[in-house]
Amino acid sequence: MTTLRSFLDKADELLGDRLERVLCAHHRRRLRGLGWGAVLEPPAGEDRFGGRAAVRRQNRVEVLVDGEEALPVIERAIRGARSHVHIAGWHASADFRLTREPGAPTLRELLAETAGRGVDVRVLLWAGPPVPAFKPTRGLARDEQRKFSAGTGVRCELDSRERTMHCHHEKVVVVDDVVAFVGGVDFTALEGDRHDSPDHPPRAMGWHDLVARLEGPVVADVAEHFRQRWIEIAGEHLPQPDVPEPAGDTAVQLLRTVPDNTYAFARRGEFTILDSYLRALRSARRLVYLENQFLWSPEIVEVLIAKLRNPPDDRFRVVLLLPRKPSNGADTTRGQLGRLVDADDGNGRLLATTISAHDGDSSAPVYVHAKLGIVDDEWLTVGSANLNEHSLFNDTEVNIATDDRALVRATRLRLWSEHLGRPVAELDGDPADVVDHVWRPLAEEQAERERRGERRTHRLVLLPGVSRRAGRLQGPLRGLLVDG
């Protein structure tokens, strides 16, 4: 039986490797045909903050962590709108409340009140899949559209120009072309409750997420993205946004995935999120820290594999924070993690973790929905893009990236403090030391408690199911099926 199992594992690995080469070749052919082929082979040593997206200077960026912090800030911005509020999302529910304060209005009430003050309110949502195989169905999307629009003065449009088996996944809010929000939080309780705090108290399903609040010239890029999509879907002309005055000292890039042959404004598509990730990861010298819902992308994994096999520094580390049970593709992520484990080869440079909620004898899952990348405390990206074929090639997505080292480092330390349950002051050292002496012992201890059937005492734990025996076939097969 053992011999048969070993044979099947080897066959799975060989077929997975073969299919992955086919998938990567398909991506290369597709991007070359669209004039984006150089994205997959950026020159070595090129500036990680260069690439094909414009760099806007003199901005202010604030990274908002978890819904308890992010949602009230967005609500206050909407309440203060004077000219217009533009929202683009995967899905939004009319009865969603951005805060849980007594008497807090629903999203429909908030937007209706805003429109009633003479503010133009426009909402652009995905229309749902053509076949009701998963939510939000087209019927559900139409129901929410009617709720937002009926008797409110709110314009709500549904965008059905998705590629087959894909969606419009971005989460963007623009207020008066003065402040914008880009991140991973949807205004809905569909699939999970977005209201959570860094304390992650036990509840039905905790939700870890991030949103970037933007002021300054980059807001015009976010506003222009919404404008481009709205004009094509709603058929309404919108003026080009004015460029806001400088608001800070931070340089920012607006990054997008816009699939080809979807919109007239980008017939050949845009793949600057993929471009930025690959440039940054290839440049990594000491640290790669990723929080993401998925890790399927072979292009991303190949870069990490190369770094683990030939580390640029003896203290190079890769730390991953992923959901224990992603909404789909768990085996796909595990297969790619198995490849990373092989590349690390026991050297202790790779650490894959997840989190849950704990309070005495109570525990509950926390869903990692954040989409964050940090490299060497010198580059950060936040947005809606997952590390899979959907987000990097086929869904509409919006991220931002910055090289503001003070902001990047402060964001990492704040997140590490949240996940490790330690004060920032205790984590403010060489990242490799913190990974080796805090992250790993804590995650391994909790995993051992789980293995022995004992109650865990901390939210952080090793991601289960990660091993050299992880299945290889499902990932590239899924990629070939969904990436037409």
Q: Which of the four pLDDT bands, split at 50, 70 and 90, describes residue 326?
A: confident
Q: Is 111 found in the same domain as 211?
A: yes
More confident residue, 211 or 478: 211
Inform me whether the pLDDT recorded for 13 exceeds 70.
no
pTM: 0.94
Q: Is the same domain home to 337 and 204?
A: no
Q: Are residues 59 and 25 in the same domain?
A: no
Q: Name the percent of the chain lying above pLDDT 90.
A: 79
Range of the domain at 235: 55-251
| Whole-number pLDDT of residue 126 | 97
**From the CB of residue 413, how many other CB atoms can be counted at a distance below 10 Å?**
18
pLDDT level of residue 484 (50, 70, 90 thresholds): very low
- Using one digit for the tens of pLDDT, what is the confidence trace for 304-323? 999 999 999 999 999 999 99
Same domain, 45 and 163: no
Taking all residues of the chain, what is their mean pLDDT, rounded to a whole number? 91
Provide the pLDDT confidence category of residue 329 given band limits of 50, 70 and 90: low
pLDDT of residue 475: 56
Q: How confident is the model at residue 19 (pLDDT cuts 50, 70, 90)?
A: confident
Counted domains in the chain: 2
My answer on whether 330 and 477 are in the same domain is yes
Q: Residues 64, 211: one domain?
A: yes
Max CA-CA distance within the chain? 73
Among the candidates 199, 219, 251, a domain finishes at 251
74 and 39 share one domain: no
The residue ranking higher by pLDDT, 271 or 41, is 271
314 and 204 within one domain: no
CATH number reported for the structural domain that contains residue 194 in this entry: 3.30.870.10
- How much is the pLDDT for 39? 93
pLDDT at position 442 over 90? yes
Residues 10 and 66 in one domain: no
% of the chain surpassing 70 pLDDT: 90
* Res 7 pLDDT > 80: no
The least confident of 81-85, 413-417, 450-454 is 450-454
- Residue range 240-265, pLDDT digits in tens: 999 999 999 999 999 999 999 999 99
**Domain end position, chosen among 218, 251, 284:** 251
Q: Are residues 66 and 41 in the same domain?
A: no
Contacts of 335 (CB under 8 A, 6+ apart): 16, 470, 471, 472, 473, 474, 475
Q: How far apart are the C-alpha atoms of 463 and 343, rounded to whole Å?
A: 17
Please state the rounded mean pLDDT for residues 395-401: 98
**Range name among 80-94, 170-184, 185-199 with the lowest pLDDT average:** 185-199
Q: Residue 478 above 70 pLDDT? A: no
Better-predicted residue by pLDDT, 378 or 131: 378
Residue finishing a domain among 251, 285, 310: 251
In this prediction, residue 14 carries a pLDDT of: 61
Helices 474-482 and 330-344 pack at an angle, to 10 degrees, of 130
Identify whether residues 461 and 442 lie together within a single domain.
Answer: yes
Q: Are residues 197 and 237 in the same domain?
A: yes
